[in-house]
Every structure is written in C-alpha cells, then in structure tokens.
Amino acid sequence: MTTEFENPNFETLLSAAQINARVKELGTQITIDYAGREPILIGILKGACVFLSDLMREVNLKVSLEFMAVSSYGKAQKSSGEVRIIKDLDVAVEGKDLIVVEDIVDTGLTLSYLLANLQSRGANSVKLVSLLDKPEPRIVKELKIDYCGFQVPNKFVVGYGLDAAERYRNLPFIAIVKNPALA
Ligand code: 5GP
C-alpha cells in the first residue's frame, strides 16, 4: 500500500534531514544576532506552524510567541498587495523586536504588507525569516528576507506546513507536486 508520505505525485525537494539541519543553522544565527534581546516570534498561520515550532526550539533566548493569520484578496486586487488580517497579534509591539516567521515568500505581496503594517505599530525592529524563497515570481523586488532557509524553483510545493487545499501540511519533508490537478 502506498502511504501519503510515499505519494507518487510527490517529488522530494528537501528531505526532513536537510530541513532539520538548516533550521538549526537559522536558529543559531538568530540566537547570535539577538543576544541580550527578547524578540517576539510572529508565526504566520497556518503554513509557518511546523517551521516555527522547530525553529523556536533552536533559538536559545528569551522569546515570546505570537500568531497572525492573513488572507489575500482576489486575483484582481492582488497586485495592490492588500491583505486582510484575519487574526491579529494579542499584544502591542511598540519598542519590541519582531521576527516574522513565514513558510514561503512568492510574490512578496503578503509579506511586504505585513512588515510595513508591523513597522507602523512602532516596533523597534522587524525582521523576516522564511523557510523557503521562491524568487522567480517575486513582484516586490525590494523585499528583504533576513534569514532564508532555501531557495526553491518556481514550482508548487507542499509539506512541512505547506498545503494543497489544506492537505499535506503534515509531511515531514517538502515535495514538488508533479501534477497539481491530482493533489
Ligand atoms: P506571496 O504574497 O509571497 O505571493 O504569498 C506567499 C504565500 O503564498 C505563502 O505564505 C503560501 O501560503 C502561498 N504559497 C506560495 N507559493 C506556494 C507553494 O509553492 N506552495 C504552497 N503550498 N503555498 C504557496
């Protein structure tokens, strides 16, 4: 019997071991860069949940945790980069050091909106960590990913938090979906 983890429609792009090793490196770098500070890690739901839970355990600092959920408007409005905040932070962030934790940056529209929104609340600093960077479809060219796990090709990927119609977030690896119509 083929299991979901061995789905023939998946081509493994990043193994669990590769992800694990890179997440450790990112956590170590953040630990060094934020020494003596107490950043707030802001996970963007739902895709970043797996990455965030692994990453936070590699950050050897006093951190606190927040979540935001956003939804993009329809295609027509996408170029405006406007997103709707579905779930906002539970705390004020004035004077705080914020690290936004995202699964993947694609066009960059969602993140550029979110980072500007957080900065406008008077944060001391706002940085971005994204597990994946898909540079090809980028619209917001100036978006800076401060901590990036891996660059990936312009293909639809799932696993390790990333979904296709809400499925496959639980895959321990990241895979390219060979035929998205079958996903
Ligand atoms: P952006 O505003 O950068 O275009 O959108 C980023 C969001 O699009 C990600 O948080 C993710 O939800 C979704 N996304 C972009 N590329 C992929 C992909 O290859 N696979 C999945 N599952 N989601 C993606």
- Whether 110 shows a pLDDT value over 80: the answer reads yes
Query: What pTM was estimated for this model as a whole?
Result: 0.94
Q: Given the CA of residue 78, which atom of ligand 1 is nearest to it?
A: 2
In a domain? residue 7: no
Residue nearest atom 5 of ligand 1, based on CA coordinates: 106
Structure tokens belonging to residue 148: 């990036």
Total domains in the chain come to 1
Structural domain of residue 113, as residue ranges? 16-154
- Tell how far the Cα of 69 is from the centroid of ligand 1, in angstroms: 13
pLDDT per position as a tens digit, 4-20: 888 999 999 999 999 99
Which CATH number covers residue 31? 3.40.50.2020
- Whether 1 shows a pLDDT value over 70: the answer reads no
**Of 75 and 113, more confident:** 113
Q: Given the CA of residue 158, which atom of ligand 1 is nearest to it?
A: 22
Contact status, residue 101 vs residue 43, Cβ threshold 8 Å: yes
- Omega into 87 within 30° of 0, i.e. cis? no
In a domain? residue 4: no
pLDDT per position as a tens digit, 35-79: 999 999 999 999 999 999 999 999 999 999 999 999 876 554 455
- Tell how far the Cα of 40 is from the centroid of ligand 1, in angstroms: 23
